[in-house]
Amino acid sequence: MPRPNLVSFRVDLNGLPLHAHAAAASMPEAISVAGTRLRARVASTEQYKDARTARR
């Protein structure tokens, strides 16, 4: 059984740590999946910060 390709991104977004992980059959696919997950986390974080700022 072949081993999956693993990718892990750790990013500091203005002091807020964000992480994205993925496993796939090929390295380009794993990078693509992890990149998509990281972009979703960044967007989610921006929406959360915008909502908190609007309440003040």
Q: Could you tell me if 18 and 42 are in contact, meaning their C-beta atoms sit under 8 angstroms apart?
A: yes
Six-digit token string for 55: 């309440």
Cα 18 from Cα 55, distance rounded (Å): 24
- Quick one: pLDDT at residue 56? 66
- Quick one: pLDDT at residue 10? 96
- Quick one: pLDDT at residue 1? 67
- Quick one: pLDDT at residue 2? 80
Residues lower than pLDDT 70 in the chain: 1, 51-52, 55-56
Six-digit token string for 43: 């967007």
What is the phi-psi region of residue 15: left when phi exceeds 0, alpha when psi lies from -120 to 50, beta otherwise?
left
- Quick one: pLDDT at residue 46? 84
